[in-house]
Structure 1
């Protein structure tokens, strides 16, 4: 037996979830948030104990949950009546997937359950129409007979004349002859109103009218959105009902219990999704079951942003993507020792492409587990006999979404069980890669000290190389053609790029666990790019150690450094850092990371400690700069402006024109750079600056302060 408890300004009633078997440790003390009410509710499941129910109790409980949930979801008299009628006509089997039982004062409320087990709209058991303390007093005439007044005070009734359901909370000091205040300011008696509106004659004129409200709307409470606080219900939300027009459907049914059951579809949907996640863990086979990963983490990896819940797969996808690139890069680097960087990149792309990952997912029947739509409680199936709690129908999904889910699952295993778990997960899907941990054998034929200042560089990096030729290779440009020297840095750059990308992503993921997926991506992008690495290289003086024989490269570096010598004292992160610097400088930082990784026997911790020295200060959420291309796009989208880019390239230089058309004005900027991305950022920054200035001027002209 599991109890569901809520915590908010108005604490909901407890509801017992009774299941036939142990649901496992994933469900003990598991909690999640429900949104969209005055304050979010934090529901917790806890194991209470074992409960023994006889056949009569199981059947009654099943009919109770069918009645109350169909009432809340459908709110249609004929539909609910047919649903319950069909249930009552089923064979009296006690079979049920689960039972939801209301709790009052710490005990299961069998009185409410048994009343709901009787047929609707006629409750024939007279004992249920009266409570024993006031059996002979306070009798009220309803459409289907007499009831004790206390049975109506907290009940759900239906009114056949308009096909509506209401929650009754008490009696009013009004009767059929009392005056009804109409919206146009006129008055008439309730008796006259029901005659004119519904052609109904009220015969029990002295009976007090019921104070009732429409049933609370059932909605997707897993949907994380900023609902405004619900306003207190005004007097107009109260409905005055003559008891003689009402059929009692459920009683007693307190407002708190009724409110609690409005959350049940969302709660049970979350539980069903977690059960699906547990199924996936079992489906992956014995090799994956050795790793203790929570079902909730698997569910996070399978939940797309479209579901609009408190979590989604995006952060795990970012983490898994970096690990996938890292492990495949390492695999191809070690396996193909003599292949150049271009061929290695091509082989890696073939393995990690969206198409390849999608094929792996389809081959392993993972697609049906992916959650790509927000929960719709109106289509949720009220539980009954034989209800499949783990429905996993096939859906049409784009290959990228499927690939993202595979990467998110990699991230889930990596973040909770480590690299070995993530690697074995990939192997279990059928990816033919190896996770190499053995040192790479190299034939050393030169003395690196004769070509580079090894001691100075080791001091800078705070790392002593076992094989200094690796450091020399990391600094050797392709133009350096002296016989007997090491190869150029491109293979090490290929490796170091993936190592740094994964190290940074893993660092930000764990350093800022509460950051949004968007912020995680921005932190990663601001740190892992060639321009930032190039800036760090110049700031650390690495450009002085690059071995090359290119006069063009020498001139370009010299010209840039002479012009911007003072700009290299600041941080190396951000879009402006190192922009338009020669790409080789950023490549060298990556190749040095690759060299340390190999020399340190694949120890990423050593790489991180060394490279962090030249990359600090690292970007933080507070120091993060907005990317001008992204910011300009968002600005134009918010204003409804048209944004276009035109790109040309001549003699190795890219020229980008950014043009924004507003109402009556066109803003345009042209910028150049050795890379298209650099030129695009510069052009976007210029146009964005002009647009903001125009906005500020417009606000000032209208007497509005702009902050």
Structure 2
């Protein structure tokens, strides 16, 4: 939607309760790159992500004085995720004042607004959701935060007074525990079991990849065009892998069981059929472990598939026959696809 910059800025000033000294900053913060005759929010967005991250980090550091760093990191991520920020934009009606010139953006925002209205508990968004959050809405929150930060002469304390209102309600430690955020649960499982958890992320072009290591062993890997979703998907896949190893930990709240077993009959054929129905490329299998003699062989197979969100890879369990090992990998991949709401 394209409206006059001054009109949009005046409306947003009322919403956030702050009057800018430099109105141009807010006008720029609301302008998408599709409006070529105006300066877009891209530079402000660059600063805004860091401003929000530091501001919420300061708040959490002083609010939760006795929790460990990884829980602080999880709380920070929950409060500045793409979905959380996009929801914040919708709740405050900021989506009406995003200045752009692309019809597809209108469609994305409309679909997301409808989903937010259906998901009444979306006020504290930790992960997931039925509709992908439009990045432009999160960008706007980040850009407004940067505009405020710049307008108060880069004083983080002063800007936090305004920025906090954009992030409310702020996700708490109780919210993380109640919502069973996959990354939180994964940390809890490993901590209770005395296992070392390491989640590593890296970028490859527009894609972000997350890999989960437990006791230095790769357990799961997932890719997405969004860093937070790649991390969540990898955590979900890792939980499936750890469930049979750690039966005392309940993950049934967000895992759908396949008749209580982890080996699905004819899983390779079923996974092939799934990929065929969704017009994905065929699954690719590899041998990750081939040890022992003819009487006592140990195989571990992996399967990789390409989805519209990126490539997913899953390791199977140790098996005495190669075909059974491949079936194990396919079984776990199907479970992961279901958990990741691909099915």
TM beyond 0.5: yes
How do 1:478-517 residues align onto structure 2 when only pairs under 5 Å count? 478-481=33-36, 483=37, 485=38, 487-517=39-69
Distance in 1, matches of 2:183 and 2:336, equals 6
Q: Are residues 506 and 666 of structure 1, via their aligned partners in 2, closer, same or farther at CA, if it must alter by over 3 Å?
A: farther
How do 1:24-173 residues align onto structure 2 when only pairs under 5 Å count? none
CA shift digits 1:319-378 (9 cap, x unpaired): xxxxxxxxxxxxxxxxxxxxxxxxxxxxxxxxxxxxxxxxxxxxxxxxxxxxxxxxxxxx
Distance in 1, matches of 2:340 and 2:108, equals 29
Aligned partner of 2:91 in structure 1 is 539
Residue 185 of structure 2, aligned match among 610, 618, 631? 631
Looking at both structures, which has the greater relative contact order when contacts are Cα pairs under 8 Å and sequence separation is at least 6? 2
Q: Are residues 559 and 622 of structure 1, via their aligned partners in 2, closer, same or farther at CA, if it must alter by over 3 Å?
A: closer
8 Å contact 2:5–2:99 — kept in the other structure? Answer: no
Q: Does 2:11 align with 1:459? A: no
Distance in 2, matches of 1:603 and 1:454, equals 21
How do 1:512-661 residues align onto structure 2 when only pairs under 5 Å count? 512-567=64-119, 570-576=122-128, 580-624=132-176, 625-629=179-183, 631-632=185-186, 635=189, 638=193, 643-645=219-221, 647=223, 658=237, 660=240
Quote the offset at 1:470 in angstroms. 0.8
Quote the offset at 1:675 in angstroms. 5.9
Q: Indicate the SS of the match to 1:622.
A: helix
CA shift digits 1:220-272 (9 cap, x unpaired): xxxxxxxxxxxxxxxxxxxxxxxxxxxxxxxxxxxxxxxxxxxxxxxxxxxxx
Quote the offset at 1:601 in angstroms. 1.3
Distance in 1, matches of 2:308 and 2:93, equals 22
Distance in 2, matches of 1:674 and 1:569, equals 28
CA shift digits 1:614-638 (9 cap, x unpaired): 3211122222244314535765895
Residue 665 of structure 1, aligned match among 262, 280, 283? 262
Distance in 2, matches of 1:576 and 1:494, equals 25
Distance in 1, matches of 2:337 and 2:119, equals 18
Q: Are residues 646 and 603 of structure 1, via their aligned partners in 2, closer, same or farther at CA, if it must alter by over 3 Å?
A: closer
8 Å contact 2:52–2:80 — kept in the other structure? Answer: yes
Stretches of structure 1 lacking an aligned partner (at least 5 in a row): 1-447, 690-707
8 Å contact 1:493–1:591 — kept in the other structure? Answer: yes
Distance in 2, matches of 1:647 and 1:505, equals 26
Aligned partner of 1:405 in structure 2 is none
Q: Are residues 522 and 676 of structure 1, via their aligned partners in 2, closer, same or farther at CA, if it must alter by over 3 Å?
A: farther
Distance in 1, matches of 2:85 and 2:218, equals 34
Q: Are residues 647 and 589 of structure 1, via their aligned partners in 2, closer, same or farther at CA, if it must alter by over 3 Å?
A: closer
Q: Are residues 622 and 466 of structure 1, via their aligned partners in 2, closer, same or farther at CA, if it must alter by over 3 Å?
A: same
Q: Are residues 618 and 629 of structure 1, via their aligned partners in 2, closer, same or farther at CA, if it must alter by over 3 Å?
A: closer
Q: Are residues 608 and 591 of structure 1, via their aligned partners in 2, closer, same or farther at CA, if it must alter by over 3 Å?
A: same
Stretches of structure 2 lacking an aligned partner (at least 5 in a row): 196-213, 246-260, 279-305, 315-334
Distance in 1, matches of 2:89 and 2:58, equals 23
8 Å contact 1:531–1:578 — kept in the other structure? Answer: no
Distance in 1, matches of 2:140 and 2:16, equals 13
Distance in 1, matches of 2:42 and 2:85, equals 15
Q: Indicate the SS of the match to 2:128.
A: coil
Task: Give the number of equivalent residue pairs.
Answer: 231
Q: Indicate the SS of the match to 1:524.
A: helix
Quote the offset at 1:558 in angstroms. 1.9
| Bigger Cα Rg | 1
Q: Are residues 533 and 688 of structure 1, via their aligned partners in 2, closer, same or farther at CA, if it must alter by over 3 Å?
A: closer
Q: Indicate the SS of the match to 2:90.
A: helix
Distance in 2, matches of 1:646 and 1:601, equals 41
Distance in 2, matches of 1:605 and 1:579, equals 34
Quote the offset at 1:569 in angstroms. 6.0
8 Å contact 1:628–1:685 — kept in the other structure? Answer: no
Q: Are residues 466 and 673 of structure 1, via their aligned partners in 2, closer, same or farther at CA, if it must alter by over 3 Å?
A: farther
CA shift digits 1:642-691 (9 cap, x unpaired): 95446588xxx99x7948454862489999998669xx9xx8696499xx
Q: Are residues 630 and 512 of structure 1, via their aligned partners in 2, closer, same or farther at CA, if it must alter by over 3 Å?
A: closer
CA shift digits 1:438-481 (9 cap, x unpaired): xxxxxxxxxx9655333321111110011111111001111112
Distance in 2, matches of 1:546 and 1:578, equals 23
Q: Indicate the SS of the match to 1:464.
A: coil
8 Å contact 2:31–2:99 — kept in the other structure? Answer: yes
Quote the offset at 1:556 in angstroms. 1.8
Q: Indicate the SS of the match to 1:623.
A: helix
8 Å contact 1:600–1:606 — kept in the other structure? Answer: yes
TM-score, length-scaled by structure 1? 0.29
Quote the offset at 1:565 in angstroms. 2.5
Aligned partner of 1:470 in structure 2 is 25
TM-score, length-scaled by structure 2? 0.56
Q: Are residues 572 and 622 of structure 1, via their aligned partners in 2, closer, same or farther at CA, if it must alter by over 3 Å?
A: closer
